[in-house]
Amino acid sequence: MSVKVGFIGTGGIANAHMRCLSEIPDAEMVAFCDIVEEKAQDAAEKHNGKAFTDHKAMFDAVEMDALYICLPPHAHTDQELMAAERGIPFLAEKPITRTWEKAKEIEAAVERAGLITSVGYHWRYYDVTERAKKELEGKTIGMVLGWWMGGLPGVAWWRVFEQSGGQILEQTTHICDLVRCYAGDVKRVYAAFALRALQDTPNLDVPDVGTVAMDFESGAVGTISNSCMAPRGYLTGLDVVCRDFVLQQRAGKLTIRGPDGAEELEDPANPKIKQSKVFIEAVRTGDGSKIKSSYADGVKSLAISLAALKSQETGEPVALADL
């Protein structure tokens, strides 16, 4: 029996998920909601589903087994809460919301419902990520160094701080999540951001450079830096530094550097397909044990970005426990 899937949001990342689901026999896309009617209609026609501009109407009209929520950070209002009320498992794209209060409200609703959930941290689904985790077993991590350095995305909401939260929340959250995947939970952050070169960009008020210093519950330390004023494709990834041993990950590419040289590995597969396969199977069987980031886990990764924004605002270090 196929898993009937609905979409809230039919933009770029949603279409990437639709392409992935098209390759999964157990998935059937049945409903598409977007505030831009033409986009919802296009998706519905392409995938033989129904189009909506109001997600409440979609919930009432269509029977769904699963839901993909692919919205800008500020647009998360009651979509996840309505899914939880109806017992509909969902995959929420990152970042899961713009505020800590909303994230915790949704997390509590999901827990009450006992709902299967997933968050779109697709880097976790690379085979090289699993290999890196195995290589780090038994090792003492001293430091992590992360980067998301590239150009300015074209969508208008991304450039408005109150809508996107800036690059540290919207893009760099992938690196925040990966540092947790390898080095464990972050204890405290200290951040500095600035708008240095893009002041002449219309309707932009997000920083174009920033750095976050972190210390971890384990005692490790680290930094994550980002920029949207750099050349596109400049540098995105994470290095993990241990004694006489360094892991360097650049999306699906992994370099393992040790005393005897370097080993290079690459996973050419699309991790979003793996992510959707795991999610759809979890919904079909009721077993979410293979999902690599649930909503509750995603809240912990979101906390790093939100703490960094609070640190920038206050000029002081921020403990994640104080959010």
DSSP string, 51-63: EES-HHHHHHH--
Asked if 186 and 233 sit in the same domain, the reply is yes
Q: Are residues 34 and 48 in the same domain?
A: yes
Check whether residue 150 and residue 243 sit in a common domain.
yes
Same domain, residue pair 136 and 206: yes
Q: What is the CA radius of gyration of the chain?
A: 20
Are 57 and 24 in a shared domain? yes
**Euclidean distance between CA atoms 235 and 149, whole angstroms:** 5
Q: Using alpha carbons, select from 139, 102, 133 the residue that is nearest to residue 258.
A: 139
Residue 47 shares a structural domain with residue 152: no
Per DSSP, 208 falls in state S
Q: Are residues 286 and 139 in the same domain?
A: no
**Has residue 189 got a pLDDT over 80?**
yes
Structural domains of the chain, count: 2
Report the percentage of the chain scoring pLDDT > 90: 100
Do both 263 and 287 map to the same domain?
Answer: no
- Answer whether residue 97 shows pLDDT above 90: yes
pTM over 0.85: yes
pLDDT tens for each residue of 127-144: 999 999 999 999 999 999
Would you say residue 164 has pLDDT above 90? yes
Give the mean pLDDT of the chain.
97
Average pLDDT (85-102) is 98
State residue 284's pLDDT score.
97
Q: Are 53 and 187 found together in one domain?
A: no
pLDDT at residue 237, as a whole number: 98
Same domain, 43 and 105: yes
The pLDDT value given to residue 124: 98
pLDDT digits (tens, 9 = 90+) for 226-280: 999 999 999 999 999 999 999 999 999 999 999 999 999 999 999 999 999 999 9
CATH number at residue 152: 3.30.360.10
Write out the residue range of the structural domain in which residue 67 sits.
Answer: 3-122+272-294
Across the range 313-320, mean pLDDT stands at 98
pLDDT of residue 38: 98
Cβ neighbours for 266, distance < 8 A, ≥ 6 positions apart: 128, 252, 253, 254
Q: What percent of the chain has pLDDT over 70?
A: 100
Q: Return the pLDDT at 190.
A: 98
In angstroms, what CA-CA distances link 60 with 91, 104, 106, 145, 249? 19, 26, 20, 47, 44
Instruction: Assign residue 279 the CATH number of its domain.
Output: 3.40.50.720
The answer on 116 and 186 residing in a single domain is: no
Q: Which DSSP category does 93 fall into?
A: P
pLDDT of 1 over the 90 cut: no
19 and 127 within one domain: no
Q: Closest Cα to residue 120, out of 255, 237, 17, 232? A: 17
Cα 101 to Cα 105: distance, rounded to the nearest angstrom: 6
Can you give the pLDDT at residue 214?
Answer: 98
Owner of token pair 């209002």:
77
In this predicted structure, what is the pLDDT of residue 47? 97
In the block, residue with structure tokens 């949207």: 228
